[in-house]
Amino acid sequence: MGKIFNNAKERVFLVTGASGFIGKEVVKYILDEGARVIAMDIRIAPQLKQINDPKLSLMEVDLTKEFEFPTGVTDVVHAAGRVSDWGSYQSFYKINVEATERLMKIAKETGVKNFLFISSIDIHGFFGHVEETEDGIYYPSKCYYPQTKKIAEQAVRAFNSPQMKTVCIRPCTVYGPGDTTVQGPIMDAILKGQMGFINKGKHLISRVYISDLVQGLCRALEFGKGGDAYNIASGEKINWLEWVDAIAKELGVKTPKTSAPYWVAITIASIMEGVCKLFRTKNPPILTKMRIQHAGHDFYFVPTKAKTELGFQPQMSWREGVKLMVQEYKSRKGLNL
């Protein structure tokens, strides 16, 4: 596919959360388009420090505190945030909402033209979605991550103006080589024989390969309608059993057979959460209600609006994407399976 950004060489992109799985790939893509990039994070990843490109600048910044906004920025990709199913409400609100609102206001004051916020498809809640669009059902959620992402998205969309376009994307679960946040732990669990299913893995899931996500993100920034939000998903119909089976085969191990009914799993997760809260543990329990709700209901979204309005076209088939992801995982872990 051709270039996405118009006049890329005349623009300066600030990417927050640049050291994350998504952030690193966004930085690389925008550099390849010819633009200058300021990569910002609380700690700069070694992979970013190894990039030898004069168009790249690095900034170590804690967005929850006061900082000096760089000069000359034309576009902001705000990828920083707290992504977890465990922690206090305040820990999520501080970075996902307060820092986003502060960054957005400073960006407008300094003349930024385009501001993209990475929201989440999780704001729809977890109690059943099939072939759903942005206009689908929104279930109330008691989980702090989708709660605060929803508040932040609403603030960003409302802040749109002729002076600064604001637009949001809602990625589904992103996967690919180097994913240590979501699929990494799943691959660890499969190898250790600790992976299981809810309701025999029949529920549908949504996935998007990392390079497709970056393409969709950049298209939303460039072509998206101000004040709007776009689902970024592959649109492929996959269930949990198919997904885990494909990973297990690439790892060279047997597909997990353990399964529990939803009501059993959610009861166990509730008890585990209660114990951890009682003892105020920092680490999450093995099972959380958010994980069980997610895996125990269909969660299948389609990117119809992104395809129609942005020209978004996912390129990677999920089975090929799984092969590439597992190949990198085995290499990184020194596995010869």
The CA distance from 177 to 183, in Å, is 10
DSSP annotation of 20? S
Confidence of residue 250 (pLDDT cuts 50, 70, 90): very high
Instruction: Write down the CATH superfamily of domain 10-175+207-233.
Output: NAD(P)-binding Rossmann-like Domain (3.40.50.720)
Query: What does the mean pLDDT of the chain come to?
Result: 95
Tokens of 337: 């399976």
Whole-number pLDDT of residue 91: 93
- pLDDT tops 70 at residue 337: no
**pLDDT band at residue 132 using 50, 70 and 90 as cut-offs:** very high
The pTM (predicted TM-score) of the whole model is 0.95
- The fraction of the chain above a pLDDT of 90, given in percent, is 88
Beta bridge partners of 47: none
Assess whether pLDDT exceeds 90 at residue 285.
no
Instruction: Supply the pLDDT for residue 201.
Output: 96
Residue 119: the pLDDT is 97
Please say whether the beta carbons of 3 and 33 come within 8 A: yes
The pLDDT, as a whole number, for residue 217 is 98
Q: Is the pLDDT of residue 208 over 80?
A: yes
At 81 the pLDDT is 95
Position 323 scores a pLDDT of: 98
Q: What pLDDT sits at residue 240?
A: 97
Task: State pLDDT tens for residues 10-38.
Answer: 999 999 999 999 999 999 999 999 999 99
318-327: pLDDT as tens digits: 999 999 999 9
Q: Give 215-275 as a DSSP string.
A: HHHHHHHHHPPTT-EEEE-----EEHHHHHHHHHHHHTSPPP--EE-HHHHHHHHHHHHHH
Segment 146-175 mean pLDDT: 97
Backbone angles phi, psi at 173, to 5 degrees: -65, 120
**pLDDT of res. 87:** 86
Which of 93, 137, 110 minimizes the C-alpha distance to 38? Answer: 110
**In the chain, where the domains are located:** 10-175+207-233
State the Cα–Cα distance between residues 337 and 320, nearest whole angstrom: 18
Which among 78, 86, 149 is positioned nearest to 116, based on CA atoms?
78
Mean pLDDT of 264-273: 93
Provide the 8-state DSSP code for 310. Answer: I
pLDDT tens digits along 222-240: 999 999 999 999 999 999 9
Does position 279 have pLDDT exceeding 80, yes or no? Answer: yes
Helices (H), 39-128: 46-49, 89-93, 99-109
84 has a pLDDT exceeding 80: yes
The rounded distance, in Å, linking the Cα atoms of 333 and 328 is 9
**pLDDT tops 90 at residue 2:** no
- Residue 232's DSSP bridge partners are 171
Span 83-99, average pLDDT:
92
pLDDT interval class at 1 (50, 70, 90):
low
Tell me the two tokens of residue 204.
């549908």
User: What span, in angstroms and rounded, lies between the C-alpha atoms of 78 and 278?
Assistant: 35
